[in-house]
Amino acid sequence: MAQHIPRRDALKVMAAAAVSPLLLESCGPAGDSGAAGTVTSGRASLPVLGQTPAKGPRGTPSDPDLINAKVTWELKLLPAELVTLAALCDMIIPADEKSPAASTVGAHDYINEWASRPGGDASMVRIRGGVVWLNRESVARFGKAFHEITDAERTAICDDICYLPNAKPEHRFAAQFFDTVRDQTATAFYTTPEGWKDLGYIGNVALPTFEGPNAEIRRMIGVE
């Protein structure tokens, strides 16, 4: 996929953009569980099916325990579907000299958990339908399933669906699927220790001293 900046650097920006609305939402008034509707963003929205569940016991879907999180629902994607999804995740965040590929840290498994969640029917339709499309397109163009073709051949397919506004009408569903997988892959990857390292995030680590920004940074922000 032709880009002017490295794919991983671009994804760092997109990951922050993707996660920011969730952080803002979590800062709302206590007890405000939100309303069922559609996700409002620049891309095609996914409908949220059903009603927002009533408050329930701690650890249930309506009041999850985020400190000791665990998946209590059935995971619906089949092993063959996960193989295809892993190949796509690795096209989005490939391995480099700093960190592993997205599938190595389980990005495809995270997407399975996310799409299989209670109330996630529309997400599952998009993910499962997109996986079918990828394999059909790959077989039509190159005679093999998506995970069996070369990186160059996978790139040729991804180039047609990686940017929704430029997608041809016949590729729009696939572009919406790619958009969703890109966001979820970035969320999965950059919330792991490997992703934090790639971003240069240090976290809650005590520093013996703090010298502040160096002279070059101070000049750039106009304080020196």
DSSP code, position 38: B
pTM: 0.68
- pLDDT for 22 equals 43
69 belongs to a structural domain: no
In 10 A of CB 49, how many CB atoms? Answer: 12
36 belongs to a structural domain: no
Q: Residues of the chain whose pLDDT is less than 50? A: 1-3, 19-51
121 belongs to a structural domain: yes
- pLDDT for 121 equals 96
DSSP per-residue string spanning 68-124: T----S-----HHHHHHHHHHHHHHS---SSS--GGGGTHHHHHHHHHHSTT-HHHH
184 belongs to a structural domain: yes
- pLDDT for 65 equals 74
3-state secondary structure of 112: helix
Q: CB of 127 within 8 A of CB of 115? A: yes
For 156-179, what is each residue's pLDDT tens digit?
999 999 999 999 999 999 999 999
DSSP code, position 208: S
59 belongs to a structural domain: no
18 belongs to a structural domain: no
Q: CB of 89 within 8 A of CB of 108? A: yes
DSSP code, position 62: T
CA-CA distance, 200 to 108, in Å (whole number)? 23
Angle, CA 33 vertex, CA 28 and CA 34 arms, to 5°: 80
Q: In which domain, by residue range, is 80 found?
A: 74-224
32 belongs to a structural domain: no
Q: How many domains is the chain built from?
A: 1
Strands (E), 138-223: none
Helices (H), 143-171: 151-159
- pLDDT for 55 equals 61
23 belongs to a structural domain: no
DSSP code, position 63: B
CA-CA distance, 169 to 39, in Å (whole number)? 22
Q: CB of 89 within 8 A of CB of 63? A: no
CA-CA distance, 122 to 103, in Å (whole number)? 23
What are the Cα distances from residue 9, in Å, to 14, 113, 125, 177? 9, 26, 30, 22
- pLDDT for 2 equals 46
- pLDDT for 211 equals 81
- pLDDT for 59 equals 65
